[in-house]
Amino acid sequence: MILQAHLHSLCLLMLYLATGYGQEGKFSGPLKPMTFSIYEGQEPSQIIFQFKANPPAVTFELTGETDNIFVIEREGLLYYNRALDRETRSTHNLQVAALDANGIIVEGPVPITIKVKDINDNRPTFLQSKYEGSVRQNSRPGKPFLYVNATDLDDPATPNGQLYYQIVIQLPMINNVMYFQINNKTGAISLTREVTENIWKAPKPVEMVENSTDPHPIKITQVRWNDPGAQYSLVDKEKLPRFPFSIDQEGDIYVTQPLDREEKDAYVFYAVAKDEYGKPLSYPLEIHVKVKDINDNPPTCPSPVTVFEVQENERLGNSIGTLTAHDRDEENTANSFLNYRIVEQTPKLPMDGLFLIQTYAGMLQLAKQSLKKQDTPQYNLTIEVSDKDFKTLCFVQINVIDINDQIPIFEKSDYGNLTLAEDTNIGSTILTIQATDADEPFTGSSKILYHIIKGDSEGRLGVDTDPHTNTGYVIIKKPLDFETAAVSNIVFKAENPEPLVFGVKYNASSFAKFTLIVTDVNEAPQFSQHVFQAKVSEDVAIGTKVGNVTAKDPEGLDISYSLRGDTRGWLKIDHVTGEIFSVAPLDREAGSPYRVQVVATEVGGSSLSSVSEFHLILMDVNDNPPRLAKDYTGLFFCHPLSAPGSLIFEATDDDQHLFRGPHFTFSLGSGSLQNDWEVSKINGTHARLSTRHTEFEEREYVVLIRINDGGRPPLEGIVSLPVTFCSCVEGSCFRPAGHQTGIPTVGMAVGILLTTLLVIGIILAVVFIRIKKDKGKDNVESAQASEVKPLRS
């Protein structure tokens, strides 16, 4: 809401008969300290006081805060020459002295005080031209939500400076009711009591006991719109498969069926009020329903049988494990608070009560003595778990396991020497080792893990253990290397994953060794990297070094370098140093990067070789003149021209351009063309060729265009644009075909056509006559045959 207010100050009209007056109410007198009160804004040249001189004084002098307003005549007449302004200076402190004929002070100076009295000559002014405020619905009437402030330069100790606030107008004015009021002294704006209370409010959260047996539906809360006639509905934003709430057209909200806290412990939905047209009257109200728990769920066991293990030397009081049952009722309430109790131990050997369980935590402990596996390897416990209303029996199986009091022992301490070629495949099994453990099989006490503790700092070997036999298989994990480790003395240690019992330690029986001898295999040279890359300008001089490669032979043999795939014959390589040089002009436009293979071949030995890649990136130089972007044939103007025309063409070049693209300039290629043609640039790649007049002959013109690329150095090319002036038919150029050698004229073509038709006609006539003649002959012969044919008897 935006509020505006106007201030009205209290105006007082007062009339005074005298302009100034002293402390004694007289207008003349001797020289002495005096105070005068004068209203601001009065007409100037008003007399304040007449000082009288005592001989030898003959004249008076005025000093102090005169502001060129106060003046004293030689005869002692004190007055002011223009109106006073209290807001500029409220008190003027002056001094008056009496002088003799020689200008020497003979009396005084004495203080004269002029007090400027206020008149109401200043309008109140707001500190802001516009105030904005907001007020919440249902705010308490009379509670300020906005303050306005104004100032007045007049004396605040007088009615002239006292401010009074009032609201002049309220927009909009609904039903002629003022909804707002202002404190006339403080400027505080608040609601009036005319504002009615909004009853469209969200109700308090509702609590419902689960699984209620009361008849449903049950009213749980209500909402009300401010006016009658509203249409109510509920919105389920959670899209539940079962929404157990409804609302009637009075705004009463019901639960329609029993709720189950374990299915859903809280509901949030919305109540909506709409008008008769289905339009919402206000924002939806959020409804919260919490489902209160009852003890309707018994405790459940974590599994049909919970299994724990305990070592046979476990000390009394040590934890064996914790049985954790569950209760679906609300956590941390009496409904889900569980108690544990052992109700049966089987077998009861060597005695009953060997175990105890903590009542509230469910932790099982040894109660009377340590266990021995040879006495009983397994115990079964029945444990009662209960809440305040339900009881459940859970079953626990406790297995007594052997303690780790035996160490692994190798079948032999030295596995001798093993000789392998350095190119033996990774993953190969090179040795089988075996240790045994007398603890209970297939437990953490008897399982054996093998570790290489010495002689393989590079991690070239590893040991895999068969979990059923504890056999160790030594495998190659990384390539062997004769050059760095020809002989290695490998030491194994066999350990259990379970810690040994106190007092038992691993000794020499748990260690074994073997000697690995690696034989040399001639290996190919090795490049320092898979791909070598260099970057040079495409215009480097022939013979320039453009890069180099390096390789080493594991056996230390010399290496000879060569190139492969130099299809353009641009490069050569120093076969000793690996330096690569240019041997021909390079061209970025022909191919960049330029890729070749480098071959490193060992000198001597088996002449093994290896291959790497060399990529030469060519940086562009401006070495390609501009040209037309395409073949511009068929350019024409319809003849005769009715007005100068133009054509657009595009240029390009093969050099590399920055992201902003090329910037060509265009001009005519010959000065003789300037009378007929002109070229204008459109952008960096396009230009317009225009005619300067319309007097062109009906023929083809070849226009030369000079294109400059502005590069470093700049290159230019002169291109030809053939332009034809021709007669047009439906916007297309029509050019009648002329007689060419070997091609008949129209008359000749017509003669040939007629001659051809005549020949065809003659041939058809001859054929027709021949057929007719043959038919007549056949008829005669038939008749003759019938005459001589004898009759049959």
pLDDT tens column, 611-622: 999 999 888 777
Phi, psi of 747 (to 5 degrees): -65, -45
pLDDT higher than 50, residue 6: no
- Closest to 541 (Cα-Cα) out of 591, 582, 589: 582
Secondary structure of residue 254 in the 3-state scheme: strand
Contacts of 55 (CB under 8 A, 6+ apart): none
pLDDT higher than 50, residue 14: no
Q: What is the mean pLDDT of residues 164-177?
A: 85
Buried b (16+ CB within 10 A) or exposed e, 176-187: eeebbbbeeeeb
The burial of 370, by beta-carbon neighbours within 10 Å (0-12 exposed, 13-18 middle, 19 or more buried), is given as: middle
- Closest to 290 (Cα-Cα) out of 262, 261, 263: 261
The separation between CA 23 and the C-alpha centre of its own chain, rounded to angstroms, equals 83
Tokens found for residue 153: 């330069």
Question: Binning pLDDT at 50, 70 and 90, where does residue 311 land?
Answer: confident
Tokens found for residue 61: 């002098």
- Looking at residue 750, its pLDDT comes to 54
Is 685 in contact with 707 (CB distance < 8 Å)?
A: no
- Looking at residue 658, its pLDDT comes to 63
- Distance CA(104)–CA(618), nearest Å, equals 104
Mean of per-residue pLDDT scores for the chain: 86
Which secondary-structure segment (H or E) carries 618? strand 609-619
- Distance CA(726)–CA(744), nearest Å, equals 25
- The bridge status of strand 77-80 relative to strand 59-64 is unpaired
- Looking at residue 748, its pLDDT comes to 55
- Looking at residue 414, its pLDDT comes to 96
Percent of the chain at pLDDT exceeding 70: 89
- Looking at residue 670, its pLDDT comes to 87
Q: What is the mean pLDDT of residues 284-305?
A: 95
Phi, psi of 286 (to 5 degrees): -85, 125
Query: Per-residue pLDDT tens for 552-573?
Result: 988 788 899 999 999 999 999 9
- Distance CA(362)–CA(90), nearest Å, equals 92
Secondary structure of residue 377 in the 3-state scheme: coil
- The bridge status of strand 355-357 relative to strand 77-80 is unpaired
Query: Per-residue pLDDT tens for 450-501?
Result: 999 999 999 999 999 999 999 999 999 999 988 788 899 999 999 998 888 8
Is 46 in contact with 189 (CB distance < 8 Å)?
A: no
Query: Per-residue pLDDT tens for 369-427?
Result: 888 887 899 999 999 999 999 999 999 999 998 888 899 999 999 999 999 988 899 99
Task: Give the range among 18-32, 482-496, 528-542 with minimum mean pLDDT.
Answer: 18-32
Tokens found for residue 616: 């030469």
Q: What is the DSSP string of 473-522?
A: EEEE-S---TTT-SEEEEEEEEE-SSPPPTT----GGGEEEEEEEEEP--
Query: Per-residue pLDDT tens for 621-639?
Result: 777 788 898 888 888 999 9
- Looking at residue 741, its pLDDT comes to 43
Q: In this structure, how many other beta carbons lie within 10 angstroms of the beta carbon of residue 327? A: 20
Question: Binning pLDDT at 50, 70 and 90, where does residue 213 land?
Answer: very high
pLDDT higher than 70, residue 24: no
3-state helix, strand, coil in the chain (%, to 5): 5, 40, 50
Q: What is the mean pLDDT of residues 43-71?
A: 90
Secondary structure of residue 627 in the 3-state scheme: strand
pLDDT higher than 90, residue 740: no
- Looking at residue 105, its pLDDT comes to 92
Percent of the chain at pLDDT exceeding 90: 57
Q: Which residue has the higher pLDDT, 125 or 737?
A: 125
In DSSP terms, which residues pair with 495 in a beta bridge? Answer: 449
Query: Per-residue pLDDT tens for 320-360?
Result: 999 999 999 999 999 999 999 999 999 998 999 999 999 99
pLDDT higher than 80, residue 138: no
Q: What is the mean pLDDT of residues 287-293?
A: 95
- Looking at residue 110, its pLDDT comes to 95
- Looking at residue 8, its pLDDT comes to 34
- Distance CA(295)–CA(389), nearest Å, equals 7
Residue type, 43: E
- Looking at residue 227, its pLDDT comes to 80
Q: What is the mean pLDDT of residues 10-24?
A: 31
Question: Binning pLDDT at 50, 70 and 90, where does residue 177 land?
Answer: confident
Which secondary-structure segment (H or E) carries 753? helix 746-788
Query: Per-residue pLDDT tens for 662-717?
Result: 788 999 988 889 899 999 999 988 999 999 998 999 999 999 999 988 777 888 88
- Distance CA(689)–CA(674), nearest Å, equals 11
Is 576 in contact with 560 (CB distance < 8 Å)?
A: yes
pLDDT higher than 70, residue 743: no
- Looking at residue 141, its pLDDT comes to 81
Q: Which residue has the higher pLDDT, 451 or 737?
A: 451
- Looking at residue 780, its pLDDT comes to 34
- Looking at residue 773, its pLDDT comes to 54
In DSSP terms, which residues pair with 667 in a beta bridge? Answer: 706
Determine the Cα angle at 410 with ends 407 and 414, to 5°: 140
In DSSP terms, which residues pair with 46 in a beta bridge? Answer: 80
